[in-house]
Structure 1
Amino acid sequence: MGCGRVGSTLAHILEDKGHSVAIIDQNSEAFRRLRGGFKGRRVIGMGFDRDVLVEAQIEKASAFVAVSSGDNSNIISARVARETFGVENVVARIYDSRRAEVYQRLGIPTVATVRWTAEQMLRRLLPDGALPLWRDPTGDVKLAEVQTDVAWIGARVADMERAAPGCRVAFLNRMGEAVVPTGDTVVQDGDVVHVMARAADMDQITEALAKRVREED
């Protein structure tokens, strides 16, 4: 639902991957964003209207995404798709991050675009410390990219985890490729470290990894 820039881009990507797509928008002019060769269904109407969803063949859908410009419309549509039509894979875009957290707890996956965009900007403006890439609906557990002391180069992942209790190195970004490490994986120059930990421990972990204190020190 929603044939804006995000909706039309998703529709094209999904179609290119071999999926059949139906896209709903209350404004017929919005469909001009679709390329000429788009083969999917174009349905005019509100995405939370049951008749409109049936016209879009929601009963055959394996997934539903709500990316209109309105938070309320997105959430209502997502709930109708899941609760009325039984679509299991449902995602809604939300601008208000406080609402996003509430709906996450209700089991509706959301993407809070303002927060996500701000965090991506901060990662480039303020590279120090840890910035979350993901967190669970309760906010208790986070996946974050952390800045590490160059002294960790040549050390094992197990050494990092031992120096930062509660930390689990989830993966390393190595030359643009994701590496899932074992305890014996050696940190190389240029590796970007991503850790999973309790939010309450993240500051302590960040501090421990930002400056390596060797045992002999």
Structure 2
Amino acid sequence: MKIIIVGCGKVGATLAEQLNNEHHDIMLIDKNANVINSMTERIDVMGVVGNGAVYKVQMEAGIQETDLLIATTNSDELNMLCCLIAKKAGNCHTIARIRNPEYDSEIRYIREELGLSMAINPEMAAAMEIARLLRFPSAIKIDTFAKGRIDILKFLVQEQSILHNMKVREVLSRLHCNVLICAIEHGSDVLIPSGESVMMAGDKISFIASPSEANKFFKQAGIDNNAVKTAMLVGGGKITYYVAKLLENTKISVKILEQNVERCNELSELLPRVMVIHGDASDQELLLQEGIGQTDAFASLTGFDEENIMLSLYAASQSKAKLITKVNRIAFENVIDSMNLGSVIYPKLITADTILQYVRAMQNSMGSNVETLYKIVADRAEALEFRVAKEPSIVGIPLEKLALKNNLLVACIIRRGRLISPRGKDTMEEGDRVIVVTTVTGLNDLKDILR
């Protein structure tokens, strides 16, 4: 597909790399010539220097032959204008990044009036992930499928865990929970397990289950999953605002630490139920005074990665809180993963995943659309939710008779709201939703699971 990306900031650059890896024809537009030159030298993409909201610039970029335009500049209004012009000039699909909380309540109206295929808010998406993590404090990462009916959760196997040295096939008989282990990260290796695969202390395990079964699994495995009652959020940016808003009607008491006094006053007005503290979170005395040692959850959400990492490491030394660390740049992912930072949130990756899911669904041929897509291990393992179409090579055939690709697992079938943990005799039927976990990245269509 031919895709134009307007704005080569963190999200735009990440998208360009991921879509280029999937062999799309990418054209970049940015006002900064140095940024365009750097991107075109680093990856196989083309670029135009200029304002993406100018008709002439879009024409130069080839808008009339374009399938999709994605506007990810720092200005919501510019993104909307880019999409409006693209719709008129090229009649293509359009996606706009819209971040301002003021537009949040009007997003449906904006989408309809501007003819947007999608409006994406990275901060809201990150906040929703954080709110999910506070529901399951033992999980490092949670991805939701089938409109919240089923989750993929990732957690770390501790030294004394009952799961240490346990085979995957023993989980059901020993723990009596209906969960499916779908990925094991052992150091830098990622494995889609068989029944004989063994889990070890230090491994990161991803499993699929309904929320109630996930709770039961954590309990049976002796993993402490106490409900979060108090949360301390550092930094008063958009993500913090959205997290506090999402937690407003829950039993979680939220405290925000922010350095800028004007922003503190704003947050106090916007969030009357939240305690907002004016102060510098790098002041250890202030953190101790405000109860870092007693809080159930600690999220470092400032605009500086280094500060977020240091704050989370300090919180880990002072408490047993659920840690959440926001990281914008991903240059040292292996180093970050080796630190005790709890759940690491990458807003630009969450955004890129959402847009990638839409692109996959757009280009698919048979109608077995990619409904949901998550990168469960960076660029090495994906979990995808498909809607099953009328596909004779798949429908009605027992799974054991299908020639599935290696390193691929049909993890769950959802039929008329009922969850089926698939066995060899089970079949996929038209209208089902199917969740597939695989290290074979780039699947666009359900039939791509076949060899």
Q: TM-score range by the shorter chain?
A: 0.5 to 0.7
Asked whether the 8 Å contact 1:145–1:192 carries over to 2, the reply is yes
Partner in structure 1 of residue 333 of structure 2: none
Partner in structure 2 of residue 140 of structure 1: 149
Map residues 197-212 of structure 1 onto 2, 5 A cutoff.
Answer: 197-211=209-223
- Cα distance 1:20–1:161, how it changes in 2: closer, same or farther (>3 A)? same
**TM-score of the pair, normalised by structure 2:** 0.34
Partner in structure 2 of residue 158 of structure 1: 169
Asked whether the 8 Å contact 2:71–2:95 carries over to 1, the reply is yes
Shift of 1:130: 1.4
Map residues 172-187 of structure 1 onto 2, 5 A cutoff.
Answer: 172-187=184-199
Aligned partner of 1:45: which letter? N
- Cα distance 1:17–1:195, how it changes in 2: closer, same or farther (>3 A)? closer
Map residues 106-117 of structure 1 onto 2, 5 A cutoff.
Answer: 108=118, 110=120, 112-113=122-123, 115-116=125-126
Map residues 1-217 of structure 1 onto 2, 5 A cutoff.
Answer: 1-8=6-13, 10-11=15-16, 20-25=25-30, 28=31, 30-35=32-37, 38=40, 40-46=46-52, 52-61=57-66, 64-70=69-75, 74=79, 85-86=91-92, 93=97, 95=99, 108=118, 110=120, 112-113=122-123, 115-116=125-126, 129-136=138-145, 138-148=147-157, 150-162=161-173, 163=175, 165-211=177-223
* Paired residues, number: 199
Percent of paired sites with the same residue: 18
Query: Separation in 2 of the partners of 1:113 and 1:192?
Result: 26
Asked whether the 8 Å contact 1:43–1:55 carries over to 2, the reply is no
Which protein shows a greater Rg?
2
Worse-superposed segment, 170-179 or 194-203: 194-203
Shift of 1:22: 1.8
Shift of 1:196: 1.7
Query: Separation in 1 of the partners of 2:71 and 2:19?
Result: 15
Query: Separation in 2 of the partners of 1:45 and 1:207?
Result: 55
SS at match of 1:130: coil
Shift of 1:56: 1.9
Query: Separation in 2 of the partners of 1:79 and 1:195?
Result: 42
Structure 1 unaligned segments of length 5 or more: list them: 212-217
Question: Larger RCO: Structure 1 or Structure 2 (Cα < 8 Å, ≥ 6 residues apart)?
Answer: 1
Aligned partner of 1:152: which letter? L
CA-to-partner distance for each residue in 1:34-74, whole Å, 9 max, x for gaps? 34583622153345x77654432245446644322245665
Worse-superposed segment, 52-61 or 174-183: 52-61
**TM-score of the pair, normalised by structure 1:** 0.62
SS at match of 2:214: helix
Asked whether the 8 Å contact 1:169–1:196 carries over to 2, the reply is yes
Shift of 1:195: 1.2
Shift of 1:191: 1.6
Query: Separation in 2 of the partners of 1:44 and 1:91?
Result: 19
- Cα distance 1:188–1:131, how it changes in 2: closer, same or farther (>3 A)? closer
Worse-superposed segment, 135-144 or 108-117: 108-117
Asked whether the 8 Å contact 1:147–1:210 carries over to 2, the reply is no
CA-to-partner distance for each residue in 1:69-122, whole Å, 9 max, x for gaps? 2456657867987997455xx7665647978x989xx974957346538968x9
RMSD: 4.6
Asked whether the 8 Å contact 2:157–2:205 carries over to 1, the reply is yes
Query: Separation in 2 of the partners of 1:52 and 1:10?
Result: 21
Shift of 1:181: 0.8
